[in-house]
Structure 1
């Protein structure tokens, strides 16, 4: 069944690439098109269209980079080319010259593609700081407020690399947080680029009086053992909560869950069995599911990522339909859910309709 689905997906992908390539060739071919030009065009199209798949399979860095940018272009072309094609067909009903309308359609499509790519890359690599103010009706005599910085979905790897990590540390430390939470997807499917670029050493410079804590997400993978992956993070002085609870200086409790796809993940009820609910309880859960269960178990604040806010429009319409809270702040009785669109990105290094972000949560205790 898996092989059949994979084959159908490849056929669909190949069909779309063929359609885009065919339309593109008709727009850009010279008036005296030569066999050499056509052959070169086909070779370039086949190379770029296969670079994402071959790069993932081979691990070759340059193919992975080309593939990522190709997927960004491919996504935009899926939206732009059919629209331009329909426009050209409609313009044939007018007295405008057919050849000129095709040329102009190609020029406008290319201009829009370049513009959207520049805009999308800027949004991906230029994070903003978003702030949420919440009130929790708990606390201790010495804990009145808590300034939390939450970052997720950094996807550190080939494209979200050393410079992006340094930007993260600089921005976060400038906020002077009391507590830093990272609910998953620190890696982009492989820990090795993270280690090769010494991003663990960069993240070790994050500073917060109550510490830096993380849970793991569906892209936090490693060919070796999970403990090796956790160790690579804890060398960054980031404490990983892997289906664990932690009482922090007798002020509040942190709960970090395994990702939803992990078959050995404990239930939230089992994790919270010995938690003192008279103190604030904060849950790190990568995927923002089961908000009602978190509310019923007495969680006060649940921080998540995973959705990327859709990353590229109209992806946000899909995530909005899938999750009760796909981005931002949602309160359900005493429980607050905060979901970030993420500091990094997955796949194509673009964001359209979303922005890379760092989230600050200013908590007031009553």
Structure 2
């Protein structure tokens, strides 16, 4: 069943690539040289398969980079081309159609594609700070906490050292008491994380009570999970892998990702902890809010959804998750889901924005 679904997806993708390739070719000058057509087919084939090949052959970084930008172009063209063909068809019915009109339409599509991708890249690499205020009716050893939270950095080839350095600078500017990172720190490739010097960069985060992280579905690679945890802890983070810690009379719990077969129940993780004190939870995917509420969690922070990353992805995440982005209160429990600091696949965001979250928590027993 899984193989059949995979083949079906590849066939649909191949047909869409053919549609894009044929559309762009028709808008070129009439009767181009045969060698040019052959070169065009070869280039399109290599580029359109580069993302898949780059993931399959992990060491070939150039394929991954080409593939990521191709996916951005692919997405935009799949939106623009049907609209353009519909417009050309209407113009043909109105006897306003000509070869020159088609060429102008092709140029317009390419210019619009470049503009949209440029805007998407800006949204992906220019984070904003979103602020929330939360009151927890429990006593702690402090009256309030300034929490800074980020997730889904996907640090690697495209979400690289410059993006990481900016995150550290922005976090430090917010003067956090506590930093929470609920997963997807790396992008399936620990080697890239290490080679780019992320360990030393992330050590620069300045937080009064420390940096705590849980793992996400992309915090995986070919080696042992202990290698990843060691690398993150060398980066100045304390990884909570179905574990808890205590800070100023506050319990901080971190769960394994939903896709981890060994994930423990939350009540088991919190066993032995004082639930009359505040409980903060890091859970990468926001799909266990009922369990978190029943277990006595006061604030759960999550990521994973990217707020869809590109429209209409946000409509899909909104249908899949009770809280796919932003703030939700369930009884006395607060859920905050970030759209993420990085991106996955195409380095663009359309209909969403890269962000860092600041949460002002007040404890009022």
Give the TM-score of the pair, scaled to structure 2: 0.97
The answer for the alignment partner of 1:21 in structure 2 is 21
Q: Which residues in structure 2 correspond to 1:234-253 (within 5 Å)?
A: 234-249=233-248, 251-253=249-251
- Please list the CA deviations of residues 226-280 of structure 1 after superposition, one character each: whole Å capped at 9, or x if unmatched: 111100000011000000011224x200010000011110011111221211211
Aligned to 2:108: 108
CA displacement at 1:169 relative to structure 2:
0.5
Q: In the TM superposition, what is the alpha-carbon distance from 1:24 to its structure 2 partner?
A: 1.1
Is 1:49 aligned to 2:48, yes or no? yes
Deviation at 1:97, TM superposition (A): 3.6
How many pairs are equivalent? 363
Moved more, 73-82 or 176-185: 73-82
Deviates more, 1:91-100 or 1:159-168: 91-100
Q: Deviations over 1:304-352 (max 9, x none)?
A: 0000000001100000010010000111111000000000000000000
C-alpha deviation, 1:33, in angstroms = 2.3
Q: CA RMSD in A?
A: 1.0
Matching residue of 2:285? 287
Cα displacement (A) at 1:215:
0.1
* C-alpha separation in 2, matches of 1:273 and 1:54: 45
Matched residues in 2 for 1:32 and 1:13: separation?
27
Structure 2, unaligned runs of 5 or more: none
Distance of 2:360 and 2:159 partners within structure 1: 28
* CA displacement 1:80-133 (0-9 Å, x = unmatched): 111111111111011224212211221221111001000000000110111001
Note if contact 1:91-1:101 (Cα within 8 Å) is conserved in structure 2: no
In structure 1, the residue matched to 2:206 is 207
What is the CA-CA distance between 1:134 and the residue it aligns to? 1.0
CA deviations 1:204-229 (Å, max 9, x no partner) are: 11111111000000000121111111
| CA distance in structure 2 between the partners assigned to 1:196 and 1:280 by the alignment | 39
Take 2:292 and 2:55, find their aligned partners in 1: how far apart are those partners? 37
Distance 1:357 1:113 in 2: 24
Question: For residue 177 of structure 2, what is the aligned residue in structure 1?
Answer: 178
Partner Cα distance (2:336, 2:3) in 1: 38
d(CA) in 1 for partners of 2:151 and 2:279?
19
Distance 1:148 1:81 in 2: 45
Q: 1:37 Cα shift?
A: 2.3
Q: Which runs of 4+ in 1 moved over 6 A?
A: none
SS at 1:64 equivalent = helix
Corresponding residue for residue 307 of structure 2: 309
- Deviations along 1:138-172, whole A, 9 cap, x unmatched? 123x4111000000000001000111111111000
1:327 counterpart = 2:333: no
Q: Determine the C-alpha separation between the residues in 2 that align with 1:37 and 1:67.
A: 22
